[in-house]
């Protein structure tokens, strides 16, 4: 067991940010942490690395209690923050030299780590360039490199792909896979559920400061196999049709994006025929598709919220 959070509680005044959180992270896994805005994800991460004190509970990382061995633990953790925390007036190489130096690296070991880290994030040919000239995706990759240069055993990534292009996102996800294959344990939080689907070994869903579900993707999907998703594209966009769909027996959720409506409904409820009838009533249906549950459906069912539309903690 690489990390264990036991009954963690954190309050901000009358607000209970973390409510008796229990999470175990196995060595060598990629754990995806999902939750809507205000769920407590960033608070949890800050508590794990000792940036903020928790009110009660125990945090053990690499077999050491955080309260007694905070400095030792911090030396084995890499943190990729939501905000890009690099020096834009220093070259990529000098950024890594600075952060490596903070962790006590010197001489040949520092040089070797910098070269290997630049290769991992695909910035070797830009090592002497200033980040001020980098694209947003390249800055994100350098930000990740700064968290990797000391070769941490445990990498925590808090929204590492916010606001970047698809190519850079894919590069980062591939880098995470390579790091994990080499033995690095990863805690990965994001508002892009497809990223967690692509790389995670297990998933924890946090809502209102509580763990409401955790397990492998197959285990979580199994929880809602009694449901199905129906995607309907109307000829015209109409909120009135969506409101009627929501009233159908067995419908759990109905979310509209333009002319497309995604409906989560109980299997066997017979709602497809009724949904098509509603569509005809409000101008017609252009396309319809039914799917088995996905991780996104699990999230929608358990939290009642769409992940992608949320920002922040």
Task: Write the CATH number for 232.
Answer: 3.30.70.100
pLDDT in tens, 237-271: 788 999 999 999 999 889 898 999 999 888 778 88
Residue-level pLDDT at 307: 63
Kindly report the pTM of this predicted structure: 0.81
Q: Is the dihedral of CA 274, 279, 281, 282 positive or negative?
A: positive
Q: What is the largest CA-CA distance in the chain?
A: 73
Is the pLDDT reported for residue 306 higher than 80? no
The least confident of 44-53, 261-270, 276-285, 303-312 is 303-312
Mean pLDDT, the chain, as a whole number?
91
- Is the residue at 313 inside a domain? no
User: What's the structural domain count of the chain?
Assistant: 2
Residue-level pLDDT at 82: 87
Same domain, 115 and 170: yes
- Is the residue at 122 inside a domain? yes
Boundary-marking domain end, from 187, 221, 255? 221
pLDDT in tens, 50-100: 999 999 999 999 999 999 999 999 999 999 998 899 999 999 999 999 999
**How many angstroms separate the Cα of 101 from the Cα of each of 17, 108, 139, 142, 198?**
35, 12, 20, 16, 34
Phi, psi of 78, deg, nearest 5? -115, 130
Q: Mean pLDDT over residues 140-153, rounded?
A: 95
Same domain, 171 and 40: yes
- Is the residue at 309 inside a domain? no
Boundary-marking domain end, from 197, 221, 245? 221
Domain extent at residue 27: 3-221
Vertex 130, ends 126 and 131: CA angle to 5°? 90
- Is the residue at 308 inside a domain? no
Same domain, 294 and 147: no
Same domain, 254 and 204: no
Residue-level pLDDT at 313: 57
Residue-level pLDDT at 237: 76
Same domain, 159 and 288: no
DSSP 109: H
Say how many Å lie between the first and final Cα of the chain, rounded: 26
């Amino acid at each position: 067991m690489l990390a264990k959070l036991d009954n963690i509680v954190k309050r901000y005044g009358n607000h209970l940010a973390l409510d008796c959180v229990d999470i175990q992270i196995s060595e060598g896994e990629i754990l995806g942490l999902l939750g809507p805005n205000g769920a407590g994800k960033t608070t949890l991460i800050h508590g794990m690395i000792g940036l903020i004190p928790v009110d009660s509970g125990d945090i053990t990382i690499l077999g050491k209690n955080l309260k007694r061995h905070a400095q030792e633990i911090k030396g084995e953790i890499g943190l990729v923050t939501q905000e890009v925390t690099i020096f834009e007036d220093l070259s990529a190489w000098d950024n890594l030299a600075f952060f490596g130096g903070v962790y006590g690296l010197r001489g040949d070991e520092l040089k070797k780590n910098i070269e290997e880290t630049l290769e991992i994030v695909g910035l070797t040919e830009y090592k002497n360039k200033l980040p001020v000239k980098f694209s947003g995706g390249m800055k994100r990759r350098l930000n990740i490199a700064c968290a990797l240069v000391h070769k941490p055993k445990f990498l925590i990534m808090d929204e590492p792909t916010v606001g970047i292009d698809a190519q850079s996102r894919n590069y980062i996800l591939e880098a995470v896979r390579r790091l994990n294959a080499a033995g690095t344990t990863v805690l990965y939080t994001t508002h892009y559920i497809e990223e967690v689907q692509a790389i995670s070994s297990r998933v924890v869903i946090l809502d209102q400061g509580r763990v409401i579900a955790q397990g492998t993707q197959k285990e979580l999907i199994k929880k809602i196999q009694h449901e199905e998703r129906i995607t309907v594209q109307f000829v015209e966009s109409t909120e009135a049709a969506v409101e009627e769909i929501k009233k159908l027996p067995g419908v759990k959720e109905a979310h509209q994006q333009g002319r497309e409506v995604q409906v989560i409904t109980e299997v066997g409820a017979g709602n497809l025929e009724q949904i098509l009838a509603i569509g005809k009533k409000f101008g017609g249906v252009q396309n319809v598709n039914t799917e088995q549950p996905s991780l996104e459906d699990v999230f929608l069912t358990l939290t009642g919220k769409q992940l992608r539309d949320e920002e922040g903690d």
